[in-house]
Structure 1
Amino acid sequence: MSSAPDTTNSTSGAGSIRSLYSDTGRYLQSFGAFLKDSDEHEAIINWIKTYMDEMIVHLGGKKDLRLMSVGCGDGQVDLVVIEKLRNAHFQNIHVTLIDPSGEQTDRCRTLLQSLTTSEEGQAQVTLTFKTTSFEDYIATFEASGEALPKYDMVYLVQMLYYVKNPFSVLENSIKSLEGTGRLFLIHVSGHSGYAKVWKKFGPRLPQDDNCNYTTADDIRKLCDQLGDHVHVDQTEIESTFNIGSDLRTSLTGQLAVDFIVEAAEFVEKAPEPLKSEVLDLIASDECTKKNEKGEMSFNNNLSAITMYVR
C-alpha cells in the first residue's frame, strides 16, 4: 500500500476476513451494487467529455492522432474518448489499448469494433489491442532496445490501484508522450470517504496483491517526483455512492461496506472492535451525508490529474 496510514491501534484484525478479490462471487455482487448505487461512471464520463473538448482545441493542428489507453478494461471510457475525437476535424486516429485481462480485452474489442467504420466527416479509427500488463508492454521495448512509441494522448482511468510500481507506470507513460502530448488519469480522491477509511484502517484490513489502498494524493506525490519539466494539474470530480441507512443488517449496506474496505463479508466476519470502528467511521460526517430518512450518501469523490512535458 502506497499511502501513509494512521498506524494507531494497528494491531492486525485481518486474520478472520478475506480480501474481496479472493471471492469472485462476492466481488461481482458488491461491484454490481456499486455500479447501480453510485454516479461514478456518469461523473467520469462528464469530466472526460469536457477534457476532450479542450484536447480538440489543443491538438487542432494535427490530422493524425495516436492514443494509448493503459488499463482499458471493457472499453467504456475509450468509447467516449474515441467518439468525441473522431467527430472532430482529425482524419486518422490510431489507438493502442492495453489490458492484462483477455476477457476484458475481448469485451473492449466487441464494444469498440463499430468505431472502425467511419462515415463522412469522421476520422478513420484503427485499434491495436495488447493483452498484457503495461509493465510487460514496456519491458518488450527495453529488451529489444527499440524506442517507445510516441502518443498524443495517454490515459489511465481507475487502474493505478492494480500495479506494483505506480511511479514506473507514470514515468514510462510520460516518456511515451509526443512533444505536445497530454496525459490524464483518474483515481479515487484523497478527500473521499475511501481515503479516510483506508488511511485509518488499511493496516488492519486484508492486504492483496491485486489492489492497493492508494489515493490521488499518493499519486500526486509520485507525479511531483517526475521532475520540474513535467507540469501537473489536479481537479476534484464530485461523486456519491448511496449506501442505504443500515450498514449492519441490510444487504445494500453490507455490500457497500465490502466494496469500501475491499474485504469479503466484512460485516459478518470482521472481529470487534474493528467492525464497529470501521462502520462508525463510514457512517460518520467525515465520510457520508445523511438525508431526512437517514439514507447515507458516501463521499465517492475522484481526482483527475493531467500532465504534460513543458
Structure 2
Amino acid sequence: YQLCLNSLTQDHEGMLVRPPNPFLVKCLLVAVVAGEIDLEMFSQLRQKHPSITVDNQVIEPSVLVSKTADLDYIKFTWNHMTDLEFKQRVKEEKTIKKADFIHILQVLYYVKDPDATISFFQSLLSQTGKLLITLVSGTTGREILWRKYKRQLATYPGQYISMDDIKGMLDSKGISYRSYQMPSYLDISECFVEGNETAPVEMKEGVLEMLRHPDCSAETDGKIIFNNSIEALVLDPLP
C-alpha cells in the first residue's frame, strides 16, 4: 500500500510542490471490509501534505469511521448499494465524477463480471488517477486448496477468483499494470488438534494433508503457518 501511495503522490508531484489550498484528492472506495487500510493511507498522505482534503465516495460503508478521530479533512459520501447499482446511477446521472484514486478491495469475488467491473472503475479515473485492486494472490495455499476442493468449500454467495485470474484478463486485453505482493500468514495449528469439528473422513484427511503441504504452509516453532498472501495491482486510466 505504501508503494501505491508513493505512486499516487509522485504522479501529483507538480501539484504537490505548490499545492492549492486546500489540496484535494478525490477517492472512491469499493470494499467489503472495515476500511482500516484506506484510513491509514489517508493518514499517511495527510502527514506528508497537511493541507490536503479528501473527497471520499464509499460503496459499502464502514462503521470504523465512527470510531476514528481526526477525520475532519475527509468528506465521506456513503453509497448503500452494490457496484452494479452504483454503475447504473452513474449512467442515469450522465455526469462522471473523475477520481484520483480508486480502491477495489476484496470485492471481485462477489461481482458477476470482474472484467467489466474493472473497466468501469478504470473509466472513472482522472488523467493522473490510479486504480488499486486488492485480492488474494494466485500463489497462496488458499489458491491451491480451493482449486482442489472448490465444490466442498463453495459456501458463500460469490465466485472464487485470484489475482492470477485478473492478470490473465488484463493480459488478454493488453492492459498494463504494476504488481505488488503483500505476504500474509495464518496460524492454522488448531486445525490439526484432534476433537475439533470435522468433515467427512476422506475430505478431512485430504484437506489436512494439503494444508500441511509445503506449497500451502510452513512449520515454524511447532506451529503450522498457512500462506494467505495478498496481491495488489495498480492500473492507470484507460487510453
Q: TM-score, normalised by structure 2?
A: 0.86
Choose the corresponding residue for 2:164, options 217, 221, 231.
Answer: 217
- Out of 102, 120, 131, the residue aligned to residue 80 of structure 2 is 131
Deviations 1:83-142 (A, max 9, x none): 12223335432111111xxxxx250431456311xxxxxxx3211111111211111122
Specify which of 164, 187, 209 is matched with residue 112 of structure 2.
164
Question: Could you report, residue by residue, the CA deviation over 1:142-186 in whole angstroms, capped at 9, with x for unpaired residues?
Answer: 2x2513321011011222222222222211110111111111111
Structure 2 equivalent of residue 6 of structure 1: none
Query: Does the alignment pair 1:53 with 2:13?
Result: no
Asked if the contact 1:67/1:95 (under 8 Å) is kept, the reply is: yes
Equivalent residue of 2:186, what SS? strand
Matches within 5 A, 1:41-80: 48-62=1-15, 63-71=23-31, 73-80=33-40
Higher relative contact order (CA 8 A, sep 6+): 1
Which AA in structure 1 matches 2:166? I
Code of the residue aligned with 1:114 in structure 2: it is: D
User: 1:288, 1:298 within 8 Å by CA — same for their partners in 2?
Assistant: yes
Q: Is the 8 A contact 2:4 2:132 kept in 1?
A: no
Out of 189, 192, 195, the residue aligned to residue 247 of structure 1 is 192
Which 4+ stretches in 1 moved above 4 angstroms? none
Cα displacement (A) at 1:205: 3.0
Find the partner of 1:304 among 222, 225, 232. 232
- When structure 1 is superposed on structure 2, of 70-79 and 195-204 the one drifting more is 70-79
- What is the SS of the residue equivalent to 2:131? strand
Cα displacement (A) at 1:300: 1.4
- SS of 2:160's equivalent in the other structure is coil
The structure-2 alpha-carbon separation of the partners of 1:73 and 1:131, relative to structure 1 and needing over 3 Å to count, comes to farther
Q: State the alpha-carbon separation in 1 of the partners of residues 118 and 67 from structure 2.
A: 27
State the alpha-carbon separation in 2 of the partners of residues 221 and 129 from structure 1: 32
Q: CA 1:287–1:58 in 2, change beyond 3 Å: closer, same or farther? A: same
Unaligned runs of 5+ in 2: 16-22
After superposition, give the CA deviation of every residue in 1:64-85 in whole Å (9 maximum; x if it has no partner). 2111111163221221121122
- Report the counterpart of residue 210 of structure 2 in structure 1: 281
Alpha-carbon distance between aligned partners in 1 of 2:12 and 2:68, rounded to the nearest angstrom: 23
- Aligned pair count reads 230
SS at match of 1:231: coil
SS in 1 for 2:112: coil
Partner SS, residue 88 of structure 2: helix
TM-score, normalization by structure 1: 0.68
**Of 183, 189, 202, which residue of structure 2 is paired with 1:238?**
183
Q: What is the DSSP-based 3-state SS (H/G/I as helix, E as strand, rest coil) of the residue aligned with 1:306?
A: strand
Report if aligned partners of 1:75, 1:111 keep a CA contact under 8 Å in 2. Answer: no
Alpha carbons 1:72, 1:97 under 8 Å: kept: no
Structure 1 pair 94/237, CA: closer, same or farther in 2 (3 Å)? same
Residue 186 of structure 2 contacts residue 228 of structure 2 at CA under 8 Å; is this kept in 1? yes
- Identity over the aligned pairs, expressed in percent? 21
Query: Partner of 1:297: helix, strand, or coil?
Result: strand
Distance 1:213 1:248 in 2: 28
What stretches of structure 1 of length at least 5 have no aligned partner?
1-47, 100-104, 117-123, 252-266
Q: Secondary structure at the match of 1:200?
A: helix
The letter for the 2-side match of 1:69 is L
Kept in 2: contact 1:75–1:112 (CA 8 A): no
